[in-house]
């Protein structure tokens, strides 16, 4: 089994992250830190409460959707501000069905730490969001920090709400999908169990089964 970490590092300098010392080994006897984390910082999962009035919170998340086989859709290299539509799925489109998990590879994680990472991101078109709901997809994972344009509230709200109302789990800020050799992997992304949470950083990994020698 080959394990690939699909998670961005949580460190100072990342938008929404503030890590400060709480205890020091040399003075207190142990090391500890205080973590200040924006709920949608780094690699993270959204809960419906993020955009839906009265939407489900993270502690109610069905974890079965967060673990299982996932199809890697290779769209790399994505263009800045590219609108990803159903047509971009190519041959994958006919095979997508209920309960599927889709990971959209765009190689956008390579721009992490730049202004373009957030402000010029490729995003899920509204018609693709509807298409995913119609196909009853269980989860989608994207490399940009959002599935929609963070500088366009109308688009941001519409795409998130369509996906949430269709029970599609959203994982954002994935990295290193370019390291995967297989088109289908076992995917795991588990959020913190935050009571009333609208989102949480996750540790996302992919498992590829290697052929026996």
DSSP string, the chain: -EEEE------TTSTTEEEEEEE-HHHHSS-EEEEEE-TT-SSEEE-GGGTSTTPPPGGG--GGGGEEEEEEEE-PSPPTT-EE-GGGGGGGGGG--TT-EEEEE--GGGGTTSHHHHHS--EE-HHHHHHHHHTT--EEEESSS-SS-TT-HHHHHHHHHHHHHTT-EEEE----GGG--SSEEEEEEEE---TT-SEEEEEEEEEEPPPP-
Q: Which tens digits make up the pLDDT trace of 27-77?
A: 999 999 999 999 999 999 999 999 999 999 999 999 999 999 999 999 999
Q: Is the predicted pLDDT of residue 4 greater than 80, yes or no?
A: yes
Catalytic positions? 50
Question: What pLDDT shows up at residue 209?
Answer: 85
What is the CATH architecture of 2-9+39-208?
3-Layer(bba) Sandwich (3.50)
pTM across the whole model: 0.96
Q: In the structure, what pLDDT confidence band is assigned to residue 211 with cuts at 50, 70 and 90?
A: low
User: Using 50, 70 and 90 to split pLDDT, how confident is the model at 210?
Assistant: confident
Q: What is the pLDDT of residue 213?
A: 60
Q: What is the pLDDT of residues 121-168, one digit of tens each?
A: 999 999 999 999 999 999 999 999 999 999 999 999 999 999 999 999
């Amino acid at each position: 089994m080959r394990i690939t970490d699909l998670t961005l590092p949580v460190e100072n300098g990342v938008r929404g992250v503030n890590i400060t010392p709480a205890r020091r080994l040399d003075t207190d006897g142990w090391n500890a830190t205080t973590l200040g984390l924006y709920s949608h910082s780094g690699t993270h999962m959204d809960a419906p409460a993020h955009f839906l009035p009265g939407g489900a919170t993270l502690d109610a998340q069905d974890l079965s959707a967060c673990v299982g086989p996932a199809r890697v859709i290779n769209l790399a290299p994505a263009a800045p501000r590219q609108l990803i539509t159903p047509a971009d799925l190519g041959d994958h489109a006919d095979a997508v069905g209920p309960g599927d998990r889709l990971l959209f590879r765009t190689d956008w994680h390579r721009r992490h730490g730049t202004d373009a990472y957030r402000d010029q991101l490729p995003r899920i078109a509204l018609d693709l969001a509807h298409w995913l709901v119609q196909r009853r997809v269980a989860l989608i994972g994207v490399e940009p920090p959002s599935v929609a344009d963070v500088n366009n509230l109308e688009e941001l709200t519409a795409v998130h709400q369509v996906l949430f109302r269709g029970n599609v789990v959203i994982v954002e800020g994935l990295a290193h999908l370019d390291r995967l050799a297989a088109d289908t992997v076992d995917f795991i992304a588990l959020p913190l169990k935050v009571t009333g949470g609208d989102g949480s950083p996750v540790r996302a990994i992919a498992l590829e089964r290697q052929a026996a020698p």
